[in-house]
Amino acid sequence: MQYYYQYEGNQDLDLQRLLIESFDNILVTDSKARIVLCSKNMVKALRLEGADLSGKTLHDLVAKGYYSKSTALECMKLKKQCSGIVHVAGTLNEKETVVFSTSTPIFDDKGELRYVITNSRNEAALEFYARELEAEKLNAAKYQDVSKYLSKLAGSSGEVVANSPSMQKVMKLCNLIAKADSVVLITGESGVGKEVVSRYIHDHSRRKDEVFMPVNCGAIPDELVEAELFGYTKGAFTGANPNGSAGLFELANKGTIFLDEIGELPSNMQSKLLRVIETGEIKRLGDTKYRKVDARIVAATNRNLEEMVKQGKFREDLFYRLNVIPIMISPLRERKEDIVQLAIMFLNRFNKKFGLEKRLSKSTLDNFLSYGWPGNIREMRNIIERHTIISDHDELDIRFDEKLDMIEQDSKNGVFSYPAVGSLPLKSAMDEFEKKYIDSALKECNGNITKAAEVLGIHRTHLYKKLKK
């Protein structure tokens, strides 16, 4: 079949120019993932304005954090058309976006991969997300069996280090409450290990052989929260599975559902969650009947819910129903006794993962003990993983001097100065310091939200929330 036609007068037609000017987002790469052509709208979609694409590969773009994954790289690997959701990193002025991307392989006469052409569209993202979600949940019983298996695998590495008095107190409480089914609310700074503790509670409960279902309430688009948690019926919304679908509460039946970042739950969903806690019943979106569910609820937050209640941002009745058994996890800087063992645990894990035999120098451990760990355990894990991979030496010598020097230099320039003692309340001074620290990280990462969140040791969703304040 002939897919294009030439008529008199179009012999000089510049197809490359047409692709570049196309309304569609088009990206063409060769068999080595090198960028051959990028349409103007694709440059805008991926926020590549000003980037030098000459000689660059898709691996370079992913490594620099422009977007989270590449359907083109998956297409090259599988040698077939691949589609998926791609998260495009935000900037100082723009939020993170999602696009629906499709990559198609082009082969030469010998069947060898020659090029990959990728098209993306923004408006299909949510609909595609919904379809993919429902495809995975089509058989709820089968999905639940797989979830049980995967949750056990994920929990197998969730070792809890509890040498410090505060963590010993936490673990003692966990052992007492594990056998009960009461609602638990875990609080603490981002990265302190709230999910690890919740898994410990599940693994030592009578539900240990059932599914552990972690849910990040802050990562689900507001318009999909109800469908995600409670499921939906046939035709409930555009893109919905024609057979309807079970929600995460149903899939967690007989097990434990972990609601992380509960403080980010939209206000309209707070009343519905309250009813679930009080009655043990859920109602699918678009349905008229209630369904019984038996899932233990463990919630977590790094926010002050009591303060949010006073501000009218969180329901008071829901707070008290969640706060039946409160557990507060101290930040790592207050758990000095845990630092060395945590560092050794992470190093052993990454040595095994990457087939290495790295070790930590004494000066590194001394630095770890004196460092403030604003990103807590998550920051430590990321730092050790990064240095395990990039270090040329068997002994890792990790220092924080460069960051300290940067702060001191910025302070001299009046960019990162500390307020005079007594000029501000402690809370206001800490908020000001945090704001300047985040601004500094964003500038160092050229406004790339994903990279800045990694440097700060927090989830990018949490960084977005802080930027909105």
Report DSSP letters for 165-228, one per residue.
HHHHHHHHHHHHHTTS---EEEE-STTS-HHHHHHHHHHTSTTTTS-EEEEEGGGS-GGGHHHH
pLDDT confidence of residue 240: 62
Query: What pLDDT is attached to residue 423?
Result: 53
SS3 393: coil
Which pair of tokens denotes residue 204? 């030592």
Which amino acid, 190? Answer: S
- 401, two tokens: 């001097």
Q: What is the mean pLDDT of residues 381-410?
A: 74
Dihedral angle computed from the Cα positions of residues 423, 429, 432 and 438, in that order, rounded to the nearest 10 degrees: 150
Q: Cα dihedral sign for 156, 158, 159, 165?
A: negative
| Per-residue pLDDT, 154 | 44
The whole-number pLDDT of residue 294 equals: 95
Please say whether the beta carbons of 112 and 21 come within 8 A: no
pLDDT at 421: 54
Mean pLDDT check: name the lowest of 64-68, 209-213, 395-399: 64-68
- Check if the beta carbon of residue 101 is closer than 8 Å to that of residue 119: yes
Place 403 in a pLDDT band, splitting at 50, 70 and 90.
Answer: very low
CA distance 245 to 231: 5
**Distance between CA atoms of residues 239 and 231, nearest Å:** 14
Question: In sequence order, what are the beta bridge partners of 359?
Answer: 395
Average pLDDT (439-453) is 76
| 203 contacts 179 by C-beta, under 8 angstroms | no
The mean pLDDT value for 292-301 works out to 96
188 touches 330 (CB < 8 A): yes
Structure confidence at residue 41 as a pLDDT band (50, 70, 90): confident
Q: What was the pLDDT predicted at 469?
A: 62
Query: pLDDT tens digits for 106-126?
Result: 999 888 999 999 988 765 555
Beta carbons of 152 and 208 less than 8 angstroms apart: no
Q: Is the dihedral of CA 233, 239, 241, 243 positive or negative?
A: positive
Angle, CA of 308, 467 and 462, to the nearest 5°: 65
Give the integer Cα–Cα distance in Å for 293 and 277. 10
Q: Tell me the CA distances in angstroms from 283 to 104, 183, 302, 329, 457, one per residue in order.
A: 41, 20, 29, 34, 37
DSSP β-ladder status, 212-216 and 256-260: parallel
pLDDT at 424 over 60: no
Q: What is the pLDDT of residues 129-186, one digit of tens each?
A: 555 555 545 544 444 544 444 444 444 445 789 999 999 999 999 999 999 999 999 9
Q: How many beta carbons lie within 10 A of that of residue 457, not counting itself?
A: 19
Round to whole Å and give the CA distance between 368 and 370: 6
Separation of CA 213 from chain center: 15
Are the CB atoms for 451 and 370 separated by under 8 Å?
no
- The predicted-structure confidence for 239-273, as pLDDT tens digits, reads as follows 666 677 888 999 999 999 999 999 999 998 999 99
CB 255 within 8 A of CB 202: yes
The alpha helices in 355-400, defined as continuous H runs, are 362-370, 376-390
Residue 190: is its pLDDT beyond 70?
yes
User: Distance (Å, rounded) from C-alpha 254 to C-alpha 138?
Assistant: 19
**Mean pLDDT for all residues in the chain:** 81
Helix segments in 237-335, DSSP class H: 248-251, 267-279, 305-310, 316-322
Nearest one of 203, 196, 425 to 332, comparing CA atoms: 196
d(CA 295, CA 291): 12
Task: Give the mean model confidence (pLDDT) for residues 439-452.
Answer: 75
CA atoms of 183 and 174, how far apart (whole Å): 12
Instruction: For residue 76, give the 3-state DSSP assignment.
Output: helix
